[in-house]
A and B are shown apart, each in its own frame.
Chain A
Amino acid sequence: MEDMKVSMYQLYKDMLTSYLEDKSEHALYHAQQFSKQMMEQDMSPEETVSMHLSVFQDIADDLPEEVTDSFDLLLEVMIGYGLAYREHQSLRDRQQELESELNVAAHMQRTLLPNKKIEIDALDFGVVSVPAGKMSGDYYHYDIDDRGNFAVAVADVIGKGVPAAMSMSMIKYAMDTLTDKQMQPSVVLESLNRVVERNIDDDMFITMMYGVYHPDDHYFYFSSAGHEPGFFYTAKDDTFVSLEAKGLVLGVSPKVRYEEQKLKLDPGDFVVFLSDGVTESRVNGEFIEREQIVDMIRERLHMDSQEIVNEIYEQLEKAQEFQLRDDFTLMILRRKV
């Protein structure tokens, strides 16, 4: 450490001497490099001022007393800056620590989401889910059960960020405890509601839509726990209708029954699940209308599901100047043949 100070002293002395001799741009450039080095070595502003004075006294023999004394005043003034600088340093370190902790948590959270490819001939499936910040309060799920039925779900925890993300993992773990026999939408939601109601704050809740597609007879069964309605598209009539089922949000009341709806999917028909990050996108300060989302899907009917959700996400992200206000999840499940 002492050696370092000595070498900084020498460096500064050379620099100042050279500058005083020819006032060259070159010496000024060195000074910029020097200030970077100072920061790397945690030299405070007041240390620099005091070094300047010592170097100056070293190379100029008889400095007027006023000049030397004036540096005492400057030193006092710089001490305040020095304190602020050190505080800034320690906040920056702390922030980097938090940031890396959050990155680990965000990575962990992503591992809770499914990522396997779906291999059902009759199905064309696509999903996009993007958090507004690092952590997401949206959760989505898809899986094939032992009977070959395909289950999908989208859940949205109120709020966003870390608290929402922690509640989200509760849904994932509670779903993992369900057996295939319980994969009936109303039963799944009733059982999750019991878990959530016991484990969530009084003013928090989770909304969720859960559906199961049976490839043998092409029926799609679904239930909703107060979730933003999705859409159901019928290819024969070329129409979209709202995908709605009655049911209270999860976490409010311990005993809730969920209505279960069923739809027959003909070839080309599809269902859309989404989170309110999609419907509450604001374009030019105005909330997007559900019809606008329908129009965006309609323009892309010829694409496969994954392309449709990707493009809609990109378009809405761009419309919001790449700054999502809420976690965004959009999912399409289409019967191909």
Chain B
Amino acid sequence: MNLDIQVSEHENKNVAQVSGEVDVYTATKLKETLTPLAEQEDKELVVDLSGVDYIDSTGLGIFIGALKASEKSGTSLTLTGLNSRVKRLFEITGLHEVIDIDSTKREEA
């Protein structure tokens, strides 16, 4: 399964649109894209997971890494478009308490 990431730059934020499966095989690719974005001091990072059906624990780790990087650079990380299975994973792990999750988009599936 492939992972596709499209980054669009806006005035005060970067938006990464991710689609595919985030797992042990694709995690490195996601990390290489997200880490530099999270390290940018003047822009917050929004990751749109509308196209993601499945995240495994290695994939979750990448979001923790991105969270820590954005905390260091004094910006924020927001996740949007989580499906119910992915959302459950963030809830079980308690990560929804530390990562900003915008649940206005897509709750079905």
Residues of A within 8 A of B (CB): 156, 158-159, 201-205, 207, 225-229, 246-249, 252-253, 276, 280
- A253 neighbours in B (Cβ, 8 Å): 98
13 further A-B pairs in the complex, CB-CB below 8 A; given A202-B69, A280-B56: A159-B24, A202-B65, A205-B60, A205-B64, A205-B93, A228-B92, A246-B94, A247-B94, A248-B98, A249-B93, A249-B94, A249-B95, A252-B64
- A248 neighbours in B (Cβ, 8 Å): 93-95, 97-98
Give the docked Cα–Cα distance between A228 and B60 (Å).
14
Main secondary structure of the interface of B (DSSP, over half): helix
Instruction: Say how far A137's CB is from chain B's closest CB, in angstroms.
Output: 9
Residues of B within 8 A of A (CB): 24, 31, 56-58, 60-62, 64-65, 67-69, 92-95, 97-98
- A205 neighbours in B (Cβ, 8 Å): 57, 60-61, 64, 93
Contact B62 A203 (CB under 8 A): yes
Instruction: Say how far A193's CB is from chain B's closest CB, in angstroms.
Output: 11
Contact B93 A203 (CB under 8 A): no
Instruction: Say how far A326's CB is from chain B's closest CB, in angstroms.
Output: 9
- A247 neighbours in B (Cβ, 8 Å): 94
Contact A226 B61 (CB under 8 A): no
Cβ 8 A contact of B31, one of A203, A207, A229: A203
Give the docked Cα–Cα distance between A229 and B93 (Å).
10
Contact A158 B97 (CB under 8 A): no
Give the docked Cα–Cα distance between A201 and B69 (Å).
12
Instruction: Say how far A259's CB is from chain B's closest CB, in angstroms.
Output: 10
- B94 neighbours in A (Cβ, 8 Å): 225-226, 246-249
Main secondary structure of the interface of A (DSSP, over half): loop
- B57 neighbours in A (Cβ, 8 Å): 156, 158-159, 205, 207, 276
Cβ 8 A contact of A229, one of B62, B68, B92: B92
- A252 neighbours in B (Cβ, 8 Å): 64, 67-68, 95, 98
Residue of B nearest to A160 (CB): B24
Instruction: Say how far B25's CB is from chain A's closest CB, in angstroms.
Output: 12
Q: What are 15 residue pairs bridging A and B, where the CB atoms are less than 8 Å apart in the complex?
A: A156-B57, A159-B61, A202-B64, A203-B64, A204-B61, A205-B60, A207-B57, A228-B92, A247-B94, A248-B97, A248-B98, A252-B67, A252-B68, A253-B98, A280-B56
Instruction: Say how far B41's CB is from chain A's closest CB, in angstroms.
Output: 18
Contact B92 A203 (CB under 8 A): no
Contact A226 B95 (CB under 8 A): yes
Residue of B nearest to A256 (CB): B94
Of B65, B67, B93, the most chain A CB neighbours within 10 A belong to B93
Instruction: Say how far B21's CB is from chain A's closest CB, in angstroms.
Output: 13
Residue of A nearest to B31 (CB): A203
Contact A207 B62 (CB under 8 A): no
Instruction: Say how far B64's CB is from chain A's closest CB, in angstroms.
Output: 6
Give the docked Cα–Cα distance between A252 and B24 (Å).
19
State whether A203 and B61 are in contact (beta carbons under 8 Å apart), knowing that A226-B93, A229-B92 are contacts in the complex.
yes
Instruction: Say how far A273's CB is from chain B's closest CB, in angstroms.
Output: 14
Give the docked Cα–Cα distance between A247 and B57 (Å).
16
Residue of A nearest to B85 (CB): A287
Instruction: Say how far A279's CB is from chain B's closest CB, in angstroms.
Output: 10
Contact B68 A202 (CB under 8 A): yes
Give the docked Cα–Cα distance between A158 and B61 (Å).
8
Instruction: Say how far B106's CB is from chain A's closest CB, in angstroms.
Output: 20
